[in-house]
Structure 1
């Protein structure tokens, strides 16, 4: 029986690569009294049978950086610990076998350049020179990342464990966690068959078991197990030890060298789930039965690329389940349901590539209580209500598994598990030609087809202007010239109530919310570094009541941020009321006239000025009207009790017929906001950007005497040259900007686009991005440069701007 300690500073559950990496980094950070509990033996879950490819490039700069941290760690780990890791930086090849894939690869190369990652584009013959065994008759081109590589999963995990032990971390195998003790909302310890360990921090790195371990603490971890197969051959002539890893996405397969032979696996479009009713007891160092019938399609595709496989001896077809998530990204962070409970799981078969960096980030998150940098793409708070249903999770996850190697089209929507969350208007909008997208389970109209003209409400994807381009232009023009109605019922909405509501929000919000009832405040919520954690609207309804509105996808994150930052001792409650209200945004120069036909409320500029909220009666409904806009036109958001939404919408469409009213979707909102220069959280702004850097200093109460989270950091920043500043760029309208295009100032790489799209009123493609300079950036520096953008490896001239491209005076029909 293991001699468990009575207490520990942190308990890590799971002895796979992520658990051992987290423990290693906790030890390096001085948390030497960390304990790792493994239910069986180290690596006995999915780590030991992982393929071991290590790639770095992702669509997020910070996740790419995190994977780069893995490579840097693996490069030094063997020397540090004296244990072999099997790590070799032999580079990685990625093939393109059609023009669309080649466009995707070229855009990936530009993304790599944006993030400072070395990536070279090769001809088919140049690719074959690096990988002589392959047939390249169908190859259009390839990309090569020289710093990618491969590792031995079990060896590198054992090396990380030794490194952790060298810092004082203790490991206990054959020690499953049976209970997590929680008292007064705080973690108090963990129970095992061998005793209880008192602790205040638990880190759930249990891999496929992470969902079950999460339940012990009342925490939801959205992942499921999927079968994943790969083949291992005997030695093959011509396979050298320095052969690069190879990904052949058009044939759905990957390859790496192993002991003179090849490992070949892939991501089939019809994956097989595993452990639907729970993982069997005693499942450790265990494989599933090989499924040659299911693998036959992969084999046929591989033979077309590597003919030598036809004559190669087969050692094994390995079938090992791994954990996957419903969006294809892994899961990190502190659980919103339980303080002190952290998760590192759901690595979607790239746990070896991510393990080193993910363990570093998670350890720093535990020690500091916040992530070391913006990790939103993998933050557990990106999930929400649909992710409590395991069947829904599995349905969506299987679709994402099947898309692992398909082309990632701009604006692509997923089909599975839909519809899930529908507003009251779903059927009416569908009948009106809505083509829906989905976010956090909500069905949201992206654009409207003209059904009478024979248009089909269906996306046809491509890297050029897609089939919805003209339809969105119509909606854009209607918003600028007449009036449109957007169904934004999916907005997340919270009530902050209680006698100390003002005090709590004054501390949490960077903007001034201590205003009279009836006033709106557009504000950010900052971290201690001054970075933007939330970007939202706060409406004061009464002395003790505020109404907070934020984006659909940020519901869990923003609610958690508000709740965890309420100072102790204050009498205030936060309630999620998202489902109680639908939202109809009525926007455009004719919006005042339309709404005036349906209400007796004074909607004049004097009677209802910008930045105010009123409770009014409209079309028989009691509702909150917010005078605010995200499209740059006169307009109101109508927050309508759910049972009245249909009536209000029908009245708007009936009374506005002669005013040119039409429904519009989210793609028009994106185009409109780009012209007006409104920022989008998660792309243009986030925890790594301050309001001063983002051009939002006007929204911060720095000149007041009110203290707030992040104030000190902003005061310090205001006294020093800034290192980056958000700017806008326009290019020729035929060039499609998507975001992540590289920014060059006077021929020098200075950043990348955070978002991109098209402005129909100005007739230009528009992008935003931060111009960086270690010696300091100000407005004069930004506008004083000559700019180019790299788009799919081609440089194109760009014009920089710092003021909005559009204001209502440009409208073709005056308000």
Structure 2
């Protein structure tokens, strides 16, 4: 099975195989990070992030900051409170200096408050996130636009500098892949997609590409780094480093420009996955540390701090942003997953899965996407795959869940039987054996009108 990517040499595979065997009879925790064969793939700012207290996770071989701890933070034996059992390991591997900083748990763990502080800081000030693990490629050639339009359900951006969120459907009308597509110039497109999906998505792109040379694709993942600058003060920080006017009239939401950042350059895309004013800065990876240092220096007066993937995930829940392969999968139709505004059934060009989706639509959809507020939680939140009930009847499942620190709500995303996907409907969700009231609420409980994104 193609469990890993082409980065996995025999030595890597041996180490991971031995690690898996070693864990056969141990408890497996959510958010657990395994240490074998790490670190392997690191972005240039890895050491800088580590020195700032990053606690790393791994995706597709890449090291990414999950959250940040203070330099002297450590868990004691009493903090860990290990069960009195033979196989009682309940923490992530120690850091290089021997400190244990993360306790594994099915409930809210010790990192909960740290992640909350990161979310609130981004909301109030400005934060910096390393997303270099994003998969990236270019699509060029005389037929690039028409080929992409036949691939995805949305209309590919027509205007140079515009950005579109586009989905490739499966043949049955489900969602196979998600791409952010940025039009750099005529018949020149830049695609960004999930790092964990790189091998899967790249395989499909290659298999579906024409063989006549009219479309040329180049994988760019390891050539381009990505730093996400986000928060209400992000414009003030970035404007200190560039002569490009970052004001709303010149640099609108969902657009991109090539800008100078001090001595370096980057494609600045005004889009992010957390719902705050900000930019993704896609840059030559060899310039990353220069850009990182420049941003941290320019942001010092605005209290800039790094933040991690777990804060990002909390904030995306508050915006009801879907994720591959949770809310978006081949199990549910694209329209059941609530992608109506991204699926253009009336566009001139046919696309993969369109006829199957139309047929599914005529038959009627069984499920609909919902955002839920979970009431009465104390020390545990939904994580995904929890059952959703109406009285005693199973009516759907949660696909993601967690705590929204900006809204002070325990939240879940999920799919439920269509007739129950009505604002105000009360359901129950089962979390660790207990039932909690869960109410269907409006999408995007944080900043529903996107005023902060458009600020």
Normalising by structure 2, we get a TM-score of 0.90
Query: Is the CA contact (8 Å cut-off) linking 2:388 and 2:398 kept in structure 1?
Result: yes
Aligned partner of 1:412 among 32, 39, 50: 32
Aligned partner of 2:199 among 556, 570, 574: 556
**Structure-1 residue corresponding to 2:251:** 608
* Structure 2 residues not aligned, in runs of 5+: 76-98
Aligned partner of 2:437 among 787, 792, 797: 797
Aligned partner of 1:696 among 320, 339, 342: 339
Aligned partner of 2:215 among 565, 572, 583: 572
Aligned partner of 1:599 among 242, 245, 257: 242
Distance 1:810 1:770, change over 3 A: closer
Query: Is the CA contact (8 Å cut-off) linking 2:131 and 2:226 kept in structure 1?
Result: yes
Aligned partner of 1:588 among 231, 245, 249: 231
**Structure-1 residue corresponding to 2:87:** none
Deviation of 1:386 after TM superposition, in Å, equals: 2.6
Alpha-carbon separation, structure 2, partners of 1:565 and 1:802:
38
Alpha-carbon separation, structure 2, partners of 1:619 and 1:466:
40
- Describe the SS at the equivalent of 2:443: coil
Query: Is the CA contact (8 Å cut-off) linking 2:173 and 2:357 kept in structure 1?
Result: yes
Q: What are the superposed Cα offsets for residues 567-590 of structure 1, whole Å, 9 maximum, x if unpaired?
A: 454611211111111100001111
**Structure-2 residue corresponding to 1:505:** 148
RMSD across aligned positions (CA): 2.1
**Structure-1 residue corresponding to 2:125:** 482
Distance 1:784 1:810, change over 3 A: closer
Alpha-carbon separation, structure 1, partners of 2:207 and 2:331:
20
Q: What are the superposed Cα offsets for residues 277-297 of structure 1, whole Å, 9 maximum, x if unpaired?
A: xxxxxxxxxxxxxxxxxxxxx
**Structure-2 residue corresponding to 1:644:** 287
**Structure-1 residue corresponding to 2:85:** none
**Structure-1 residue corresponding to 2:113:** 470
**Structure-2 residue corresponding to 1:87:** none
What aligned pairs does 1:155-554 form with structure 2 within 5 A after superposition? Answer: 331=1, 380=2, 382-387=3-8, 389-451=9-71, 458-554=101-197
What aligned pairs does 1:123-142 form with structure 2 within 5 A after superposition? Answer: none
Distance 1:640 1:457, change over 3 A: farther
Q: What are the superposed Cα offsets for residues 65-85 of structure 1, whole Å, 9 maximum, x if unpaired?
A: xxxxxxxxxxxxxxxxxxxxx
Query: Is the CA contact (8 Å cut-off) linking 2:157 and 2:163 kept in structure 1?
Result: no
- Describe the SS at the equivalent of 2:118: helix
Deviation of 1:458 after TM superposition, in Å, equals: 2.7
Query: Is the CA contact (8 Å cut-off) linking 2:122 and 2:231 kept in structure 1?
Result: yes
Higher mean alpha-carbon deviation, 784-793 vs 502-511, is at 784-793
Alpha-carbon separation, structure 1, partners of 2:142 and 2:451:
45
Is it true that 1:707 corresponds to 2:350 in the alignment?
Answer: yes
Query: Is the CA contact (8 Å cut-off) linking 2:373 and 2:411 kept in structure 1?
Result: yes
Is it true that 1:771 corresponds to 2:392 in the alignment?
Answer: no
Alpha-carbon separation, structure 2, partners of 1:755 and 1:610:
27
Aligned partner of 1:788 among 407, 425, 428: 428
Distance 1:594 1:808, change over 3 A: farther
- Describe the SS at the equivalent of 1:615: strand
Aligned partner of 1:633 among 263, 267, 276: 276
Deviation of 1:622 after TM superposition, in Å, equals: 1.4
**Structure-1 residue corresponding to 2:407:** 762
Higher relative contact order (CA 8 A, sep 6+): 2
Query: Is the CA contact (8 Å cut-off) linking 1:384 and 1:440 kept in structure 2?
Result: yes
Is it true that 1:718 corresponds to 2:339 in the alignment?
Answer: no
Deviation of 1:501 after TM superposition, in Å, equals: 0.9
Query: Is the CA contact (8 Å cut-off) linking 1:632 and 1:808 kept in structure 2?
Result: no
Query: Is the CA contact (8 Å cut-off) linking 2:388 and 2:394 kept in structure 1?
Result: yes
Deviation of 1:450 after TM superposition, in Å, equals: 1.8
Normalising by structure 1, we get a TM-score of 0.51
Deviation of 1:609 after TM superposition, in Å, equals: 0.7
Deviation of 1:616 after TM superposition, in Å, equals: 0.8
Alpha-carbon separation, structure 1, partners of 2:124 and 2:448:
10
Distance 1:744 1:539, change over 3 A: same
Alpha-carbon separation, structure 2, partners of 1:592 and 1:383:
38
Alpha-carbon separation, structure 2, partners of 1:597 and 1:718:
50
Query: Is the CA contact (8 Å cut-off) linking 1:771 and 1:782 kept in structure 2?
Result: no
Alpha-carbon separation, structure 1, partners of 2:359 and 2:224:
41
Higher mean alpha-carbon deviation, 686-695 vs 637-646, is at 686-695
Is it true that 1:673 corresponds to 2:293 in the alignment?
Answer: no
User: Number of paired residues?
Assistant: 429
Deviation of 1:746 after TM superposition, in Å, equals: 3.8
Is it true that 1:655 corresponds to 2:276 in the alignment?
Answer: no
Q: What are the superposed Cα offsets for residues 393-441 of structure 1, whole Å, 9 maximum, x if unpaired?
A: 1001110111112111110001000110000001111010000001111
Alpha-carbon separation, structure 1, partners of 2:43 and 2:14:
24
Higher mean alpha-carbon deviation, 413-422 vs 511-520, is at 511-520
Deviation of 1:719 after TM superposition, in Å, equals: 3.5
- Describe the SS at the equivalent of 1:598: coil
Alpha-carbon separation, structure 2, partners of 1:811 and 1:475:
21
**Structure-1 residue corresponding to 2:91:** none
Is it true that 1:730 corresponds to 2:350 in the alignment?
Answer: no
Alpha-carbon separation, structure 1, partners of 2:278 and 2:384:
28
Deviation of 1:452 after TM superposition, in Å, equals: 5.7
Alpha-carbon separation, structure 1, partners of 2:208 and 2:366:
28
Query: Is the CA contact (8 Å cut-off) linking 1:726 and 1:768 kept in structure 2?
Result: yes
Alpha-carbon separation, structure 1, partners of 2:342 and 2:209:
21
Query: Is the CA contact (8 Å cut-off) linking 2:424 and 2:441 kept in structure 1?
Result: no
Alpha-carbon separation, structure 1, partners of 2:348 and 2:294:
46
Deviation of 1:498 after TM superposition, in Å, equals: 1.2
Deviation of 1:810 after TM superposition, in Å, equals: 10
Distance 1:457 1:615, change over 3 A: farther
- Describe the SS at the equivalent of 2:430: strand
Is the radius of gyration larger for structure 1 or structure 2?
Answer: 1
Q: What are the superposed Cα offsets for residues 547-583 of structure 1, whole Å, 9 maximum, x if unpaired?
A: 1101111111111111212345461121111111110
Alpha-carbon separation, structure 2, partners of 1:604 and 1:581:
26
Deviation of 1:811 after TM superposition, in Å, equals: 9.8
Alpha-carbon separation, structure 2, partners of 1:542 and 1:728:
37
Query: Is the CA contact (8 Å cut-off) linking 2:73 and 2:101 kept in structure 1?
Result: no
- Describe the SS at the equivalent of 1:415: coil
Higher mean alpha-carbon deviation, 730-739 vs 475-484, is at 730-739
Alpha-carbon separation, structure 1, partners of 2:303 and 2:240:
14
Alpha-carbon separation, structure 2, partners of 1:404 and 1:728:
35
Query: Is the CA contact (8 Å cut-off) linking 2:182 and 2:189 kept in structure 1?
Result: yes
Is it true that 1:743 corresponds to 2:352 in the alignment?
Answer: no
Distance 1:733 1:659, change over 3 A: farther
